[in-house]
Structure 1
Amino acid sequence: MSVTVSVDSQKKPPTLLPRLLINRNYAFMWVGMATSRLGNVVFDIALLLWVATTLARNAPWAAFAVGALTFIPQIVALLMGTVAGVFVDRWDKRRTLLWMDGIRIFIVLALVIASGVFPLPFPSGSDAATFFQLGCAFFILILLSSCDPFVNPALLILLYDIVDEPELPRAFGRGQVLNNLGTIVGPPLAAGLFFTLGIQWCIIINAASFLVSYICFFMIRPEKAEQTKKEEQEQGKKKSAGFIREMVDGLRFVGGNGVLIAVGVSLSFIALGAGGLNALNLFFATNNLHVTPDIYVYIDVVYGIGAILGALFVGPRIQKRLGILRGFWIPGIVTGTLLLIYSRLDNVYAAFVVLFFTGMSQATFYISFGPLLLKVTPRKLIGRANAIIGQLSTFSGMISIGLASLLVTSPLHNKHLAVLGTTLGPIDTIFLIVGVLALTSGLQAMVTLNDYKLIEPKAAESEVAAAEANVEEPVALTAQQEAAEMEALAIVQEEKAEEQPVSEQKEEADQPLVEHIARPGWLSSGRKQSVVCVLGLLVCLLILIPVSIWAPSSTDAAATISGGQPAHGQSISGMQCAPQVATKQQLSTRLTVYIDGKLAALPRGIGIVSPKQPGVTALATNGNLYCLYPLHVFENDSIIHADLPDTRTYTLGQFFSVWGQPLSRTQVMVNQTDANHALSFVIFDARGNGSTYSGDPASIPLKEHQTIVILYNSPGVHPTAFTDWNGL
């Protein structure tokens, strides 16, 4: 007597591990990627803080140095991307990842030597020591960046090999979670380690993360990859002519696929803005959001929280409801809108809210990007397609970093344009353009991908129909019968596979799964895409040109103040002139002086004593003596730099003593008050809140990012807070 058994009743609920990490191989992959991601974030943030707050502090080229930290990986990826993609398509993916992790361990540890653990061959704090350490940091960054073009496509293909296609969106979602877990945990960990223990511990943590990643990838056993092992070995035996042909095949495939073109253009526009955003976000936080560098790291934390929630909940639901095509372009439009709002903010709490939703939107975007790329690309071309699209994005990011750094230090430097009750400054102007570019990215993808639809392989549909037509009542089988039946089925399938050529075996997998829809209209998909891109770029120019050409500069002074008897090395007002910069307490204060209604600049070199020598501007000389007072002015930007040997509060009166100029309620420099010439003082705190100071001006305390405005005979001047700190 046969017994009918329900198939559903035999299915066991998934255990915790498959629910969280899909399968054993992906679990190891997830842990390895999460660990190396955390180490990379710690290293990158610590390197940025090391350059911005130590090596390039107070330097006029600080923005360029910080921008180079993002620029170097971009240019390395641009030069190596396609070549690496061809090799990754040939090589064993797991072995490639093991080699890259092993190499990166030793590369990272090499930076410890130049970090200050061992005595440098140059005087501490000298320009030679600074440039030596910068050079070492940039060289190590070049070597690390050379590994990334091999790691990223190898990870993508290995993911394809170890995860079934229905589980790919969930796998990409988990990948976004681990990326943003690193973004949340990494920055505060990096800041804490850097400010308490130094750059060395951040370097060691990154090296240890690559070691853990190596062990995890060693434990992976990709079963699907074994099916294509013979094919990969044949590809690896090809000669150099085959290498060129493979590279051309990849270029031809991407260039002839409308979906991949739309994806590449979309990522390029996002990168065209993201490069400047990443390079200048620290300066935007200090200038516009009025936060200190240690608070800046929490901006990434909030973004990461939003991205995790987007990857776990929002992204999968949007993709399931709208599909991967619409799930790709909708987040681009949302992100662009949010970045437009972000560029106009001056409150860090509002910025947290906007960046939270921006992270959620971007996670949704990348959850759709991965499956869409794999959907329209055969496995044998995944490495090259990913590399080519990545190079387009990299090239755009490289242009973005270079342009943003150039604009903020030259045509937009200290420029402010009042428009319709709002003010456009240098960095927020660039961020406004970033928002327009992200919006353009989503719009061009929308007008292009709306002309496509997903299709399913007909073979799969026919098999399902045949199975439904031949359904019989399920009968319970013994374990031996079931094993024998499965073994016989496997033998039949293996015999068919051996008779069928490899090209025919892959024919179904290589069939396009996205179909173009012929829509009536005077504009094709490509023309609509071009129109949107051109209009987006024109809007960016319309924002940039007025600010760079017509806006006045906040540092355009009518004249530089002269006179006085500057200190020339003697002890004055409790301050000593020392040969090295003090580091116990550091702050920057802007002193803005108006004389007779006109802006007057402080002279360069206040507080610096030095003989005449190239590269040094000093207001005082004393033979061969070279020394620096705790309060000094390096450039013609009227910024007082306080590098203090203790934690005392220093005052404006002490600065005037070093300068050798008088300061009181009735006199500033040579200008004295009378019935027709008033003297007043306005102080703006770091958040831009202003108040009139009526006490003794010599007792005004110097504070971080404070603006002190002196108004002599200037009743028509309405002072504003200085915001162009540029990371100081």
Structure 2
Amino acid sequence: MVLRNREFRLLWLGRSVSGLGSWLLVVAVPAHVLVLTGSLTATGLTLAAEFLPPMLLGPFAGVVVDRWDRRRVMIAADVLRAFAVALLLFVREPDDVALVYVAVAAESVGTLAFRPAAQAHIPALVGTGRPLTAANALNSATDGAVRLLGAPLGGLLYAWGGIDLVVWPDIASYLVSAVFIALTKPGPRARRGELGAVIAELREGARFLRDDRAVGGLLVLNTAFLGANAALTSVLVPHGMAAWGGTARAGLVMSGLGVGFLLGAVVVRTLDRFRPRAVLAGALAMTAVGFVVLFTIPWAALPAAVVVGAFGSTALILVQTTVQRRTPDAVLGRVAAVVFAAEAAATFAGALAGPLLAEAATIATVAWVAAGITALCALVVAHPPGRDRVPRRP
């Protein structure tokens, strides 16, 4: 049981608590912007602002993660995120919406440092064998539980008491996470160097991605899939408020994603014996079906959300585990940061494209386009051009 590992247990607790606080805002912040402005575009920009910093700064964050004590990086990131979220307490009028984008972007900078530091630190704590799959599955299950609780709870809290009632628990969650991380053992001392050394390390990470075709191929597929997912996420809350009856019900459907994540985390631990390529292709295909049902059949939205969460999480866990296993620890922070930067670029593009396409056509059109992109990714995985892009598990 990976939780018997004290260092991993503390990291898992910190990650879980801060994740719960963050998910309280997933429904509340876009709903607050929509209430203040009435604009789908302004609402979608909250997601775009979240992923702009990782898109621009992701590779440099990877150098920071690989050069500095990852424990201190995570503590500093949590403190930064607490202060950033506090800015939302000052958003009262439509003219204040710009402050939402500033707060979301600043919080994203902290997440940009925390996520690759945590992901790169896990193999160092549990190894790269079966415990790594168990650790990633546990994190995915926790993410599912956080989605299950956080999204509907955030929607209810916002409906009852406004944005303040949601923001204060999120601030507290980041500070509690910092305490848990601070209880872990210190890492190695920071390596210092000049700008030339930083650039050289960036090139080293880029060379690894270029030379390892499996990791590079996964990066491309993961980016396309997450871009499609972001297009739908950017219109999910407005669609839910109109089609499902308000923020509380939108949060309930989003909790279905959490249930799916829990199921996916349980199932993926039994899939090590199967070929990763077949599992990934099937998971992406089923996610594409779930996208269409979620946005076109209102009465089936909740079970469709469970399907999307279960198969989407399976695909993401498989990609993450393969990257961790194939990447040397010395460059894992940089590679993880590049993966997050690509994810951010895709999410930023999807967050802009989703509302624009919805306003030009319909939200159902966005769902069909996203499903088509995801199905194409499944087809490429199942029948890759040239050599196999997703290797069997070592």
| Residue aligning to 1:38 | 20
TM-aligned CA distance change 1:37 to 1:453, over 3 Å: closer
- Matching of residue 429 in structure 1 with residue 365 in structure 2: yes
Q: Deviation string for 1:463-514 (max 9, x for gaps)?
A: xxxxxxxxxxxxxxxxxxxxxxxxxxxxxxxxxxxxxxxxxxxxxxxxxxxx
| Residue aligning to 2:332 | 382
> Of the candidates 266, 270, 282, which is equivalent to residue 330 of structure 1?
282
| Residue aligning to 2:37 | 56
| Residue aligning to 1:162 | 125
The within-5 A match list for 1:573-612 is none
Question: Which protein has the larger Cα radius of gyration, Structure 1 or Structure 2?
Answer: 1
- For 2:316 and 2:121, how far apart are their aligned partners in 1? 18
Report the secondary structure of 2:383's partner residue: helix
Task: Give, in angstroms, the shift of residue 28 of structure 1.
Answer: 1.2
Report the secondary structure of 1:437's partner residue: helix
| Residue aligning to 2:252 | 298
- For 2:356 and 2:293, how far apart are their aligned partners in 1? 24
| Residue aligning to 1:356 | 306
> Of the candidates 75, 78, 99, which is equivalent to residue 101 of structure 1?
78
- Matching of residue 317 in structure 1 with residue 279 in structure 2: no
Structure 2: 5+ residue stretches without partners: none
- For 1:455 and 1:335, how far apart are their aligned partners in 2? 23
Whether the 8 Å contact between 2:21 and 2:169 is mirrored in structure 1 is: yes
Q: Which moved more, 1:266-275 or 1:202-211?
A: 266-275
Whether the 8 Å contact between 2:217 and 2:389 is mirrored in structure 1 is: no
- For 1:20 and 1:257, how far apart are their aligned partners in 2? 29
Task: Give, in angstroms, the shift of residue 96 of structure 1.
Answer: 0.6
Whether the 8 Å contact between 1:51 and 1:66 is mirrored in structure 2 is: yes
- For 2:134 and 2:151, how far apart are their aligned partners in 1? 26
TM-aligned CA distance change 1:207 to 1:451, over 3 Å: closer
Whether the 8 Å contact between 1:325 and 1:368 is mirrored in structure 2 is: no
- For 1:109 and 1:382, how far apart are their aligned partners in 2? 32
- Matching of residue 250 in structure 1 with residue 250 in structure 2: no
- For 2:193 and 2:241, how far apart are their aligned partners in 1? 54
What is the letter of the counterpart of residue 174 of structure 1? L
- Matching of residue 369 in structure 1 with residue 319 in structure 2: yes
TM-aligned CA distance change 1:260 to 1:208, over 3 Å: same
What is the letter of the counterpart of residue 166 of structure 2? C
> Of the candidates 442, 445, 454, which is equivalent to residue 378 of structure 2?
442
Whether the 8 Å contact between 1:316 and 1:364 is mirrored in structure 2 is: no
Q: Deviation string for 1:642-699 (max 9, x for gaps)?
A: xxxxxxxxxxxxxxxxxxxxxxxxxxxxxxxxxxxxxxxxxxxxxxxxxxxxxxxxxx
Report 1 or 2 for greater relative contact order, CA contacts < 8 Å, sequence distance ≥ 6.
Answer: 2
What is the letter of the counterpart of residue 104 of structure 1? R
| Residue aligning to 1:694 | none
Instruction: Give RMSD over aligned pairs.
Output: 2.0
> Of the candidates 374, 390, 401, which is equivalent to residue 351 of structure 2?
401
Whether the 8 Å contact between 1:269 and 1:440 is mirrored in structure 2 is: no
The within-5 A match list for 1:7-406 is 19=1, 21-53=3-35, 55-57=36-38, 62-112=39-89, 114-116=90-92, 129-131=93-95, 133-166=96-129, 167-221=131-185, 229=188, 233=190, 236-287=191-242, 289-312=243-266, 314-318=267-271, 320-345=272-297, 347-348=298-299, 350-406=300-356
What is the letter of the counterpart of residue 177 of structure 2? S
What is the letter of the counterpart of residue 357 of structure 2? L
TM-score under structure 2 length normalisation: 0.93
Higher helix share: 2
Task: Give, in angstroms, the shift of residue 95 of structure 1.
Answer: 0.9
What is the letter of the counterpart of residue 193 of structure 1? L
The within-5 A match list for 1:438-587 is 438-448=374-384, 450=388, 453-454=391-392
Structure 1: 5+ residue stretches without partners: 1-18, 117-128, 413-425, 457-728
Q: Deviation string for 1:428-458 (max 9, x for gaps)?
A: 01101111111112222233374664475xx
Whether the 8 Å contact between 2:59 and 2:334 is mirrored in structure 1 is: yes
- For 2:264 and 2:220, how far apart are their aligned partners in 1? 23
**What's the % identity of the aligned pairs?**
20
Whether the 8 Å contact between 1:308 and 1:360 is mirrored in structure 2 is: yes
What is the letter of the counterpart of residue 292 of structure 2? L
Q: Deviation string for 1:611-647 (max 9, x for gaps)?
A: xxxxxxxxxxxxxxxxxxxxxxxxxxxxxxxxxxxxx
Task: Give, in angstroms, the shift of residue 172 of structure 1.
Answer: 0.4
Q: Deviation string for 1:524-580 (max 9, x for gaps)?
A: xxxxxxxxxxxxxxxxxxxxxxxxxxxxxxxxxxxxxxxxxxxxxxxxxxxxxxxxx
Higher strand share: 1
Task: Give, in angstroms, the shift of residue 192 of structure 1.
Answer: 2.0
Task: Give, in angstroms, the shift of residue 148 of structure 1.
Answer: 1.7
- For 1:455 and 1:309, how far apart are their aligned partners in 2? 22
What is the letter of the counterpart of residue 26 of structure 2? D
What is the letter of the counterpart of residue 274 of structure 2? L
TM-score under structure 1 length normalisation: 0.52
Task: Give, in angstroms, the shift of residue 305 of structure 1.
Answer: 0.7
Report the secondary structure of 2:52's partner residue: helix
Whether the 8 Å contact between 2:218 and 2:390 is mirrored in structure 1 is: no
- For 2:295 and 2:87, how far apart are their aligned partners in 1? 39
TM-aligned CA distance change 1:96 to 1:20, over 3 Å: closer
Task: Give, in angstroms, the shift of residue 297 of structure 1.
Answer: 1.0
What is the letter of the counterpart of residue 373 of structure 2? L
- For 2:194 and 2:118, how far apart are their aligned partners in 1? 25
Task: Give, in angstroms, the shift of residue 323 of structure 1.
Answer: 4.1
Task: Give, in angstroms, the shift of residue 324 of structure 1.
Answer: 3.8
Task: Give, in angstroms, the shift of residue 47 of structure 1.
Answer: 1.3
Task: Give, in angstroms, the shift of residue 268 of structure 1.
Answer: 1.4
Whether the 8 Å contact between 1:28 and 1:220 is mirrored in structure 2 is: yes
- For 2:289 and 2:377, how far apart are their aligned partners in 1? 11
What is the letter of the counterpart of residue 124 of structure 2? D
Number of paired residues? Answer: 391
